[in-house]
């Protein structure tokens, strides 16, 4: 028990000497009776110098602290880009150009993922994933990005830019449109109670939802009984006019069931 008590006192002494040198020095002279005068004097001198050094270190101004934070942030971002470049085997300049180009067409660069990138000496190309969509990126041998597109829709081409947000359907919008489409299709069936649609999760790929400004289209299939009682499959294509706000209802503008 005495040994543990002594150890605890020593820990307290060192904590005080390092964090509160004046208090620690007084503690050494008053409480550490087992120390020789020489040992106390040496400890006092060392930590007195330490206290003076700490006092002489100037505190950074708010502007300097902000500059340090910005520099640290830039270093982290730089490291991330360098890591991406190393992982994909391309120049870091290409990674930066991809992000700049994606940002220019309305993407949030914090949400993009560069899944592949290469430069064969004559052209550069990459694939970027954003909001569940895959975008093709291509450009010149010097890593200049000249094209960004998804499917047959260009968002950057020949210097012309189209904001991706005019064509991207969010998951919330897609869910609302699917539910609305099911309701509108049922109203046009002979036996709506027998309607079976693809699942929203496991068969999500069976639903195709597109957007062009405030015009949305939904296409998929439905199994339902016809007038003879036979369960048959029909495909449908529906168009809506909608502002994309979840608090408003899409306006049906056209429906085709075949």
- Over residues 13-53, the pLDDT tens digits come to 888 888 888 998 998 899 888 889 999 999 999 999 988 88
4: confidence class by pLDDT, cuts 50, 70, 90? low
pLDDT of residue 71: 75
178: confidence class by pLDDT, cuts 50, 70, 90? very high
CA angle 146, 152, 155 (to 5 degrees): 40
What residues does each domain of the chain span?
Answer: 2-56, 89-162, 171-257
- Over residues 139-167, the pLDDT tens digits come to 999 999 999 999 899 999 999 999 999 99
The structure tokens listed for 5 are 């008590």
Given strand 208-212, what is the order of strands in its sheet? 208-212, 215-225, 231-241, 251-257
Distances (CA, A) of 43 to 17, 30, 40, 53, 84: 9, 13, 5, 15, 51
pLDDT of 113 over the 90 cut: yes
The CATH code for residues 171-257 is 3.10.450
Portion of the chain with pLDDT greater than 70, in percent: 95
Average pLDDT over residues 238-252: 96
pLDDT of residue 1: 41
- Over residues 39-96, the pLDDT tens digits come to 999 999 999 998 888 887 777 778 877 887 887 776 666 678 888 999 999 999 999 9
């Amino acid at each position: 028990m005495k040994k543990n008590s002594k150890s605890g006192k020593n820990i307290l002494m060192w904590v005080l000497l390092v964090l509160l040198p004046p208090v620690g020095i007084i503690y050494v002279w008053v409480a550490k009776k087992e120390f020789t005068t020489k040992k106390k004097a040496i400890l006092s001198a060392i930590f007195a110098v330490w206290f003076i050094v700490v006092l002489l270190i100037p505190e950074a101004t708010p502007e300097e602290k902000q500059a340090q934070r910005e520099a640290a942030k830039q270093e982290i971002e730089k490291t991330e880009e360098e890591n991406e470049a190393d992982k994909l085997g391309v120049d870091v300049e290409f990674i930066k150009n991809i992000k700049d180009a994606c940002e220019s067409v309305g993407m949030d660069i914090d949400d993009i993922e560069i899944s592949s990138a290469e430069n064969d000496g004559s052209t550069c190309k990459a694939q970027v994933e954003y909001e569940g969509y895959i975008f093709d990126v291509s450009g010149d041998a010097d890593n200049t990005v000249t094209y960004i597109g998804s499917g047959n829709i260009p968002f950057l081409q020949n210097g012309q830019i189209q904001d991706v947000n005019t064509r991207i359907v969010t998951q919330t919008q897609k869910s609302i449109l699917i539910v609305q489409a099911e309701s509108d299709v049922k109203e046009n069936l002979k036996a709506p109670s027998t309607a079976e649609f693809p699942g929203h999760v496991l068969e999500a790929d069976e639903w195709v939802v597109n957007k062009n400004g405030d015009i949305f289209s939904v296409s998929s299939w439905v199994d339902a009984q016809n007038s003879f009682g036979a369960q048959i499959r029909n495909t449908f294509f529906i168009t809506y006019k909608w502002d994309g706000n979840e608090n408003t209802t899409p306006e049906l503008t056209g429906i085709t069931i075949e």
